[in-house]
């Protein structure tokens, strides 16, 4: 089966979405012919060429303002109506990760992708919402705090290979919320200092 994996992060490297794409590709194994696309650098025609003949299209992206990042939204808009012509049998799956701890924050973005499928005449497979995206680069997927994420990706890969639709899943880290928040605050303070700011300036409001 040919599978297109679309990295929908605007980051060229070091994105949580990139790590999730690699983890999923690993789990799909050699029976799947995977093509990885980058929504930030590839346009409509390139993406449609990559989608040609696919049995599954997997969009992996970060949650932006409770929705889809604008560059990916524009690409989807440009492709809408044309995808079904190049990949009529494709099942669409999505993996959305967010910065806040709660994975359910990704529910609305998954619903947006579901609406896109309805309008595009495509079949929805499964959505996976991943909370605490800041942890994804910090631990190996499938072990320790990311054990649950590993299991959810195993299940998604199985469903993709079987062209099977399944209920959306939401998975957070096996890590306490207060610790995640404390680490996030500490790293923002460090970033502020590295950029010549004092920690209290993080709370400044723009003038005017």
Ligand X SMILES: Cc1cc2nc3c(=O)[nH]c(=O)nc-3n(C[C@H](O)[C@H](O)[C@H](O)COP(=O)(O)O)c2cc1C
List interacting residues with ligand X (CB under 6 A): 9, 11, 15-17, 62-66, 97-100, 105, 133-134
Instruction: Name the strand (E) or helix (H) holding 1.
Output: none
Minimal distance, residue 67 CB to ligand X, in Å: 8
> Residue 57: CB partners within 8 Å, gap ≥ 6?
3, 4, 6, 51, 83, 87, 90, 91, 92, 93, 122
Closer of 47 and 96 to ligand X (Cβ): 96
Nearest C-alpha neighbor of 108 from the set 127, 90, 123: 127
Output the six-digit token pair for 109: 């973005």
* Secondary structure class of 128 (helix, strand, coil): strand
The stretches of the chain forming alpha helices (DSSP H) are 16-28, 44-51, 70-79, 83-86, 107-120, 147-161, 177-194
* Secondary structure class of 181 (helix, strand, coil): helix
Closest CB to ligand X: residue number: 133
Minimal distance, residue 54 CB to ligand X, in Å: 22
């Amino acid at each position: 089966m040919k599978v297109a994996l679309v990295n929908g992060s605007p980051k060229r490297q070091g994105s949580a979405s990139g790590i999730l794409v690699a983890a999923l590709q690993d789990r799909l194994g050699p029976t799947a012919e995977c093509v990885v696309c980058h929504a930030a650098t590839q346009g409509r025609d390139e993406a449609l060429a990559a989608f040609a003949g696919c049995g599954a299209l997997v969009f992996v992206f970060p949650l932006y303002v409770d929705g889809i990042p604008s560059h990916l939204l524009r690409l989807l808009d440009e492709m809408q109506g044309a995808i079904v012509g190049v990949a009529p049998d494709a099942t669409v799956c999505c993996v959305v990760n967010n910065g806040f701890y709660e994975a359910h924050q990704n529910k609305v973005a998954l619903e947006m992708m579901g609406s896109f499928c309805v309008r595009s005449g495509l079949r929805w497979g499964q959505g996976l919402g991943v909370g605490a995206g800041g942890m994804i680069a910090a631990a190996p997927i499938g072990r320790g705090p990311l054990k649950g994420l590993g299991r959810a990706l195993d299940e998604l890969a199985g469903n993709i290979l079987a062209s099977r639709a399944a209920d959306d899943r939401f998975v957070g880290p096996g890590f306490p919320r207060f610790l995640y928040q404390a680490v996030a605050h500490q790293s923002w303070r460090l970033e502020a200092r590295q950029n010549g700011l004092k920690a209290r300036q993080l709370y400044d409001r723009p003038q005017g």
